[in-house]
Amino acid sequence: MPHSNPRFISRLTRNTLALILAGGRGSRLKQLTTWRSKPAVPFGGKFRIIDFPLSNCINSGIRRIGVLTQYKAHSLILHIQKGWGFLRGEFGEFVELWPAQQRVTENSWYAGTADAVYQNLDIIRDHDPDYVLILAGDHIYKMDYGAMIAFHVESGADMTVGCLEVDTERAREFGVMEVDAGHRVRGFEEKPAEPKPIPGAPGRCFASMGIYVFNRDFLFEQLQKDADTRGSSRDFGKDIIPSVIKQYRVMAYTFRDPVSGEQAYWRDVGTLDAFWAANLELIGVTPPLNLYDKGWPIWTYQEQLPPAKFVFDDEDRRGMAVDSMVSGGCIISGAKVRHSLLFSNVRVNSFAYVEDSVVLPDVDIGRNCTIRNAIIERYCQLEEGTVIGLDPEADRRAGYQVTDSGITLVTPEMLGQNANHVR
C-alpha cells in the first residue's frame, strides 16, 4: 500500500465530517451518570471524557464535527458551548450539537447508533463530506484519525473499522472482527465465546473500537437499507457490519502507537473500577497516557482559577500532596493527600487524610476525615470525622456504592445533601 504524505491526509481530513455519538447513559458507572451522560463525566483532573475524541479530531485536522446527544445532555451541552466555540464558522469549521429532534418520525429518541446517524442524514447531506468518521464519545485515547482515513482510501474500502489488538480472553468482551491476511473483514461476532484469531497471530484478536470510516454515499445507502429492514436494532455493530461484510469491501485498521508500533493506549472507563483505575494511572512517573504531550494537547473548558495552594507546615498539621495530581483552585489546608487525583476547587481541611482516591470538582473534605479507595462525586461536603473506604461493609450500611473490588463511590444524595444537578 503506498505511503501517505501529509498533504494527502490533510486533503482527506478536510473533506471528512466527524460524528461523535455522545448520547449514552453509561449505566455501569452507577450514580456518576444519574445527572449526566457518560461522555460528560469528568476525567483526568480538568477534562471530561468527550474532550478526548473532540481533541483527537482537532489534532487530526478534522474541524467539521457533529456531537449527537440524547440522555441528560445539559451539562455536556454547556461544556461544549463554553469550551468548544473557538472554531471559525467562516472557515467552514464547527462543533455542532445534534440532539434527538424528531427529524424523521415522531419518535424523538435514537433507537441505536445507526439510527442516530440515520435521523440526521439531511444535515450530513447539507455538509456534503466525502467521508464520514463515526466515533464513540465515551472512550479515553489519543489517535490520529488522518492515518485511518488514509488507510481507508488507499485500501479502496467502502467501510473501515478501527480495531484494537487484544488477547483471546479479553476479546470476549468486544465485537470481534475475523480478517484475512490483508486485513479485509470476513466475519464479525459480538462478544463471541470462541473469538477468531488474527491470521499468523494465535491468541490475538481484532476487537472493534466503535470507530468507523464510511464513504458518504455508501453510508447513506446502508442506513436507508437498515431503516427499511424489519426487526433491525438500528446498530452499527449488531446490524450494519454483519450486513455488509460479504458483499462490500470492509477493512480493519489496527490502532497502534505511531512511535513504538505497539498497541496504543485506549480505555473504556465504563465501570467504577475502570474509571478509578484509569484516573489513578495518570499520576504515575511514566503514565500510559501522557497528558503533558505538547504535540497532542487535550483541549477543554476550564474556569479561570487560582493555583493550587498548600498551607500550614507544623509537624502534626502540614498541607501536602505526595505522588498526586492537584488541579487549580484546590486548597490543601494542613491535610495530607497521597496517591490521589484532585479535580478543581477541592478543599481538604486540617488533619484530613486522602489516599488512593479520585475527588471530583467542588468537594469540601472536613477536618479529621479519612478517605481511601474512593471516588467522591462533585459538590460533596464531607463532615468532620467522616471515614470512607476503610470498611466496605460500613460504607454499604452508610448508603454508599461499593464495588466488588472495594472502591467506594459517594455522592451528595447519599449524604442527604441537595446539590447542583448540572454536573
CA-wise closest residue to 188 among 180, 203, 177, 200: 177
385 assigned to a ligand binding site: no
Retrieve residue 385's grid coordinates: 470525622
92 assigned to a ligand binding site: no
C-beta atoms surrounding 127 within 10 Å: 14
Contacts of 404 (CB under 8 A, 6+ apart): none
Distance (Å, whole) CA 151 – CA 397: 54
Over its C-alpha atoms, the chain yields an Rg (Å, rounded) of 23
Going through 86-144 in order, the beta strands assigned E by DSSP cover 94-99, 131-136, 140-141
Going through 295-376 in order, the beta strands assigned E by DSSP cover 309-311, 313-314, 317-318, 320-322, 325-326, 331-333, 336-338, 341-342, 347-348, 353-355, 358-359, 364-365, 370-372, 374-376
Distance (Å, whole) CA 291 – CA 267: 14
238 assigned to a ligand binding site: no
336 assigned to a ligand binding site: no
Taken in order 293, 299, 300, 304, the sign of the CA dihedral is positive
CA-wise closest residue to 387 among 395, 377, 399: 395
190 assigned to a ligand binding site: yes
Distance (Å, whole) CA 72 – CA 375: 21
Please work out, in degrees rounded to the nearest 5, the angle formed at the alpha carbon of residue 69 by the alpha carbons of 67 and 74. Answer: 110
Distance (Å, whole) CA 365 – CA 373: 15
Contacts of 372 (CB under 8 A, 6+ apart): 354, 355, 356, 357, 388, 389, 390
C-beta atoms surrounding 183 within 10 Å: 21
Strands 204-215 and 159-167: antiparallel
Beta-bridge mates of residue 409 = 375, 401
Which residues sit in the known binding site? 110, 175, 190-191, 208
Which residues sit in the known binding site for alpha-D-glucose 1-phosphate? 110, 175, 190-191, 208
